Every structure is written in structure tokens, then in C-alpha cells.
């Protein structure tokens, strides 16, 4: 059988290496699940970064409209207390995202990759691949083992 260039079409890439224990596969599966959660966290941080930035830019219009309406004191407060304010001490959201990416996120990815390489020959999603094989109905359309 010929396989496409898609790595997920090669079943050997998800096959458990000889001698790898069920508990190791379970641990790697949980580590992978945790990393997937951290990928989602990163996406949420980027969403927060963009949302806060958009809100801050909207404050320019708020200040303008308050001044047009004759509310200079409130316009001054928005302009001086909110516009350009740090969201955490000394940090705008781009700095939070950068620190997360360069620290926790990078470390998490490196440790997960190192665990896979040392414990399972670098293979990914062994737990899920074995679950797929147990749960699929052989011979049924839509239940094929590979693309």
C-alpha cells in the first residue's frame, strides 16, 4: 500500500515501540493531553492580547466623544488612567505573551518532546492510535485505519 506525504497516513509512526509498557503509553498520552491544553491556553493569551489591544485603541474614540460631549474631566480620567495602562505591573499583553512563549510554553514543549523521544522513539499519539484501533469498526466506511 502506498502512503501519501501526510505523516498521519503512515501507521508505523503511531505504533508502540517494542517493550514500551502500557503505563508509559498512558503517561505519554496524559502528557500530550496536557500539552494540548497548554496550546489552547496560548491561544487564549493571544486572544486576550488582541482584545485588550483593541479595547485600548477604542479608548481613543471614547476620549474624543467625551470631549465632544463636554465631559473633559471624564475624558481626562480615561485618557490618563486607562489609555496605555499596563495590564500587569510593568507589562502590556505583548510582554505577557512573549514571556509565556519563551518560558513555560517552550519548556512544556521541550519536555513533552524529550519524553516521547526517550520513552517511545519520538512517536506521537500512541495512546490515541491504539484507542482508534480498538474503537473503529473494521471494514466499515469511515472507519479506515489510515487516509
Residue 85 contacts by C-beta under 8 Å, 6 or more apart in sequence? Answer: 56
Q: Where are the domains of the chain?
A: 21-123
Say whether pLDDT at 11 is over 60.
Answer: yes
* Residue 28 bridge partners (DSSP): none
> Which stretch of 5-9, 83-87, 98-102, 106-110 has the lowest confidence by average pLDDT?
5-9
Report pTM.
0.82
Q: What is the DSSP-derived secondary structure letter of residue 121?
A: T
Of the chain, the end-to-end C-alpha distance in Å amounts to: 11
Instruction: From 56, 32, 57, select the one nearest 124 (Cα to Cα).
Output: 32
Work out the average pLDDT over 6-23: 80
* pLDDT digit string, tens, across residues 89-121: 999 999 999 999 999 999 999 999 999 999 999
Instruction: From 114, 128, 121, select the one nearest 26 (Cα to Cα).
Output: 128
For residues 2 and 87, which has the higher predicted lDDT (pLDDT)?
A: 87
Q: Are 29 and 131 in contact (CB under 8 A)?
A: no
Q: Is the dihedral of CA 107, 122, 4, 12 positive or negative?
A: negative
What pLDDT, on the 0 to 100 scale, is given for residue 12?
A: 75
Q: Are 9 and 147 in contact (CB under 8 A)?
A: yes
Pure H helices in 69-138? 72-77, 93-100, 106-120, 126-135
* pLDDT digit string, tens, across residues 17-68: 888 899 999 999 999 999 999 999 999 999 999 999 999 999 999 999 999 9
Say whether pLDDT at 86 is over 90.
Answer: yes
* pLDDT digit string, tens, across residues 119-128: 999 999 999 9
What pLDDT, on the 0 to 100 scale, is given for residue 5?
A: 63
What pLDDT, on the 0 to 100 scale, is given for residue 2?
A: 43
Amino acid at each position: 500500500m502506498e502512503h501519501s506525504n501526510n505523516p498521519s497516513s503512515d501507521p508505523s509512526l503511531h505504533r508502540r515501540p517494542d517493550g514500551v509498557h502500557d503505563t508509559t503509553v498512558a503517561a505519554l498520552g496524559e502528557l500530550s493531553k496536557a500539552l494540548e491544553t497548554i496550546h489552547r491556553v496560548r491561544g487564549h493569551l493571544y486572544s486576550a492580547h488582541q482584545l485588550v489591544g483593541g479595547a485600548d485603541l477604542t479608548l481613543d474614540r471614547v476620549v474624543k466623544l467625551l470631549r465632544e460631549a463636554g465631559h473633559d474631566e471624564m475624558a481626562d480620567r480615561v485618557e490618563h488612567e486607562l489609555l496605555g495602562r499596563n495590564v500587569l505591573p510593568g507589562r502590556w499583553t505583548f510582554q505577557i505573551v512573549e514571556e509565556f512563549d519563551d518560558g513555560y510554553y517552550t519548556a512544556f514543549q521541550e519536555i513533552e518532546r524529550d519524553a516521547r523521544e526517550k520513552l517511545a522513539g519520538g512517536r506521537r499519539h500512541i495512546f490515541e492510535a491504539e484507542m482508534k484501533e480498538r474503537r473503529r469498526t473494521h471494514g466499515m466506511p469511515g472507519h479506515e485505519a489510515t487516509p
